Chains A and B, each alone.
Chain A
């Protein structure tokens, strides 16, 4: 019996030692994991894919490296033909999913001729002679065999092994978190904690398994997302353990959205059709909220359906990216932007009526990114005006409500019981946690309102340390930088715009949420991607991740990018 009581006495000591050790182990493990993922995302060699050659009359051969190519005299064109008679932006050469090619005149001065006939758009047949500014050329698409050889020569995105190691590291991390909560958390939460973390483990291995089946090897982006979800789960485990399962379901739905977006983007023609569905859905979500929505904290952005509470504006973000992305042949035709501006205005109107300042801000930033990427120059006057109009409506309609939040900005210590309530507690708790945190379940932040959504980083900062918060921020930045790096080898502008806009939305939300919590910016009540407790936000985050994944053209990297016909594996050694 003495042994038993001795063991029971020693238990507390063991727990303290474990939690103390985890303070160091957790950030180290997280760092190694993120370092591995980020390194491969940020250092991959950007190898252009070659889809065709343009054989010029003089025997010159120009490589065609994208699915959408601008032909012109300008140095920034994808295919540069430096002849005086060639317009700066002369034509757009587009490849379709089935391997067919189309050339379209881009308002050039002298026009585009195919086989001597002036055309505005023409589906190219083999041996068709294209004449641009007097320069004659023939398009020679690569053969299927060449395609396969090229795919073979390209470096694979990353080895499957590396993906396994990453997921293994993440699993160890999750097990340690789980154990820490079981030992140090409040009583009666064990089941929720096990369900939450265990569920994440199962999901990440299932997705990896799925990738193995479809011969995709790159898993860094997903690993980062699962890591963020794990930290979100850690916040929920301490603040509202009973919601762990709900959050897990949200992750499942998020993954479904991720796969859906990826699948839609896999086929550019399908993606273009999906735009219309997305356009309608985007506005519909907002309209439904306007009609049936409930108002919380001054913003009418909640939809209650039975036991479910939804924030449809989150889903509209994904739709908005779909609508905003556009193929190159449409981009060079400036009139198309007008439709998008009108659409943005409609969205803006709905948000103004909903009084949702934070979301309006996110849409506005997304709008600016899309508008800039599509128009190029720092904006035509019309663009600037419409942007201003957008901002004006936001300011006029929403400002009085939002101003109250702004009045406490950088003055939170003067109003710790009113406008600065959440931020003062957040900073206090983050300072209490120090760089390494107080340990899982040991924080006090959970007693403050909305600690697992609006000010979730304070909860994580207090229990896991500011170093961990820094890593969360770096993870989001890494996703964005990856999207930008991929742009250079993007197949279609549709993917590039989609990925950059999606990354921008993730960044803006992180900026508003994280920096708002620590009073660097006003607190706007925006969710933190992947981390905040909330189903809609989780679905939106994963949906946006789908766009980033679709722009990943590394060989065998992305499920949202089709493999060369019959796959590389068939011709592997």
Chain B
């Protein structure tokens, strides 16, 4: 009998297996239950195909969307149009994953009491956007297609991000083929999903790479004769800039000078620095993953490589990615990732609170310092500080040739050097003309509005 009693451990093994398996489940529960609870078939959380609970407001508490029932949008058409790409429409035509990313929080879920509190008090998601700035930015863009965005490079708050063409979710226009070309692509959030040929704003990248790699680059001078023959091709400037320092060449946005810089760097180095600076990387925030950029300088012919250093050839940037890069320069080499959702609160306590997510170190502090100085010089000496009253703006314009019969895309990227208003911005306007002519007035208005909202 003693022997037999000794053999009874086989049953204990089964008991331990059961306990171990259940413990495994409990661990999984604590890690993953937030995903389980918002499973797309859950009648607890969803109302049809959309998340069916909670309220979304802008940074000042202006209602953008009440998710319950049939969804109630802002009563202002302008606000509806300016924010539909972030809060989504009723049919889910727009990819607006930020709110559903937090559907568990919106439903009042927590790992302890599950959804027991659901329905007792509506959760409020406060977006970092300002409805006021959004509408101004939308107005400033007018009928042109493109995107304008501003974010706080210290905290990561996305204060403004509009994309056009847009539409009213309460009155969705019927798209007919051929006819309404001005609505083409209205479901696309250009800020996160599109890529653009950067044009001269990419010179910031080439300049940064040169500053990091070529020790005497600031002592060099660059001669511009209006055009530069490289191999079987050539790089041209609109004017002949003559002999310039690096700082002047950047101010002049001299293609010949930057072609020479690109040649000094070489395609591989340029690509490597693109990678180090993270210019082309996707940005991830609040369930959103932006498009990534592109460069094919390595292995390109000499002249194509030169054009690549000027932001043409096969260069592509995503507005959000580029804005984040510029923000990193403003912040001294190490930037902050942007975010859209500031906090989610239920019953006056926060179920989610955004934290400034510091990105990687993109460049040395001294390089960032020189870039800021050069970009500041662009504004003070060329674009005109009078466009940005009361603000120390550093920027670079771009006029990206897109080929075909279209006018160039107008680009502008930069930031405000001011600890009270640490704002980085980007504007990309399609088929518009010169960056300085088109984008500066838009950013001027938007920044003024931002300052007003923030103070």
Contact = CB atoms under 8 A, between A and B. Distances in A.
Contact of A466 (B7, B24, B26, B39): B26
Given A436-B116, A476-B18, A431 B37 contact: yes
A434 B11 CA distance: 31
Interface in A426-475: 427-428, 430-439, 444, 465-466, 470, 473
Given A328-B1, A466-B29, A520-B24, 15 more contacts: A78-B1, A369-B10, A424-B39, A432-B109, A435-B112, A436-B116, A438-B116, A470-B26, A476-B18, A490-B4, A493-B1, A493-B4, A496-B5, A500-B11, A507-B11
Interface centre among B18, B34, B44, by most chain A C-beta atoms within 10 angstroms, is: B18
Nearest to A439: B116
Contacts of B2: 70, 76-78, 488
Contacts, number: 165
For the complex of A and B, list the 4 residue pairs with the smallest distance between their C-beta atoms, beginning with the closest.
Answer: A434-B114, A431-B33, A431-B37, A431-B36
B154 to A, nearest CB: 36
8 contacts: A66-B1, A431-B37, A433-B116, A465-B114, A496-B4, A496-B5, A511-B18, A520-B28
A373 B9 CA distance: 9
Interface string B1-35: 11111111111101101110110111011000110
Interface string B111-145: 11111100000000000000000000000000000
Contacts of B34: 431
Contacts of A424: 36, 39, 41
A416 to B, nearest CB: 7
B10 A373 contact: yes
A180 interface: no
Interface in A475-490: 476-477, 480-481, 483-484, 487-488, 490
Contacts of B42: 428, 432, 444
B114 A433 contact: yes
B10 A500 contact: yes
B18 A507 contact: yes
A interface, by DSSP: helix, strand, loop or mixed?
A: helix
Contacts of A490: 1, 4-5
Contacts of B111: 434-435
B43 interface: yes
B270 to A, nearest CB: 41
Contacts of B14: 365, 369, 480, 504, 507-508, 511
Given A328-B1, A487-B5, A480 B11 contact: yes
A69 interface: yes
B11 A483 contact: yes
Contact of A484 (B9, B26, B28, B109): B9
A15 to B, nearest CB: 15
A228 interface: no
B245 interface: no
Contacts of B12: 480-481, 484
A93 B376 CA distance: 102
Interface of A: 23, 65-66, 68-70, 76-78, 328, 331, 365, 368-369, 372-373, 376, 413, 416, 424-425, 427-428, 430-439, 444, 465-466, 470, 473, 476-477, 480-481, 483-484, 487-488, 490, 492-493, 496-497, 500, 503-504, 507-508, 510-511, 514-515, 518, 520-521
A503 B44 contact: no
B110 interface: yes
B110 to A, nearest CB: 7
B interface, by DSSP: helix, strand, loop or mixed?
A: helix
Interface of B: 1-12, 14-15, 17-19, 21-22, 24-26, 28-29, 33-34, 36-37, 39-44, 109-116
Contacts of A436: 112-114, 116
Contact of B19 (A69, A430, A438, A477): A477
Given A76-B6, A430-B36, A434-B110, A503 B11 contact: yes
B11 A477 contact: no
Nearest to A67: B1
Contacts of A65: 1
Contact of A480 (B15, B36, B40, B109): B15
B118 to A, nearest CB: 8
B22 A23 contact: no
Contacts of A328: 1, 4
Nearest to B21: A515
Nearest to B120: A16
A369 B11 contact: yes
A511 B36 contact: no
Contacts of B116: 23, 433-434, 436-439
Nearest to B45: A432
A484 B24 contact: no
Nearest to A74: B3
Contact of A428 (B11, B41, B113): B41
Contacts of A432: 37, 42, 44, 109, 114-115
Contacts of B43: 444
Interface centre among A492, A504, A514, by most chain B C-beta atoms within 10 angstroms, is: A504
A529 B360 CA distance: 55
Contacts of B5: 487-488, 490, 496
Given A433-B114, A470-B22, A473-B18, A425 B6 contact: no
Nearest to A485: B8
A510 B10 contact: no
B163 to A, nearest CB: 32
Interface centre among B9, B10, B29, by most chain A C-beta atoms within 10 angstroms, is: B10
Contacts of A372: 7, 10
A130 to B, nearest CB: 19
B101 to A, nearest CB: 16
Given A425-B41, A493-B1, A493-B4, A435 B113 contact: yes
Contacts of A425: 39, 41
A434 B8 contact: no
Nearest to B113: A434
Contacts of B4: 328, 331, 373, 487, 490, 493, 496-497
Contacts of A518: 25, 28
A511 B17 contact: yes
B36 A520 contact: no
B1 A515 contact: no
A518 B14 CA distance: 18
A436 B112 CA distance: 7
B8 A487 contact: yes
Contacts of A76: 2-3, 6
Interface centre among B28, B114, B115, by most chain A C-beta atoms within 10 angstroms, is: B114
A465 B26 CA distance: 12
Contact of B3 (A70, A444, A466, A514): A70
A426 B11 CA distance: 28
B5 to A, nearest CB: 4
Given A424-B39, A424-B41, A466-B26, A69 B11 contact: no
A431 B29 contact: yes
A411 to B, nearest CB: 14
Interface centre among A373, A432, A437, by most chain B C-beta atoms within 10 angstroms, is: A432
Contacts of B36: 424, 427-428, 430-431
Contacts of A500: 8, 10-11
Contacts of A77: 2-3
Given A488-B5, A490-B4, A515 B11 contact: no
Contacts of B39: 413, 416, 424-425, 427-428
Nearest to A478: B15
B433 to A, nearest CB: 49
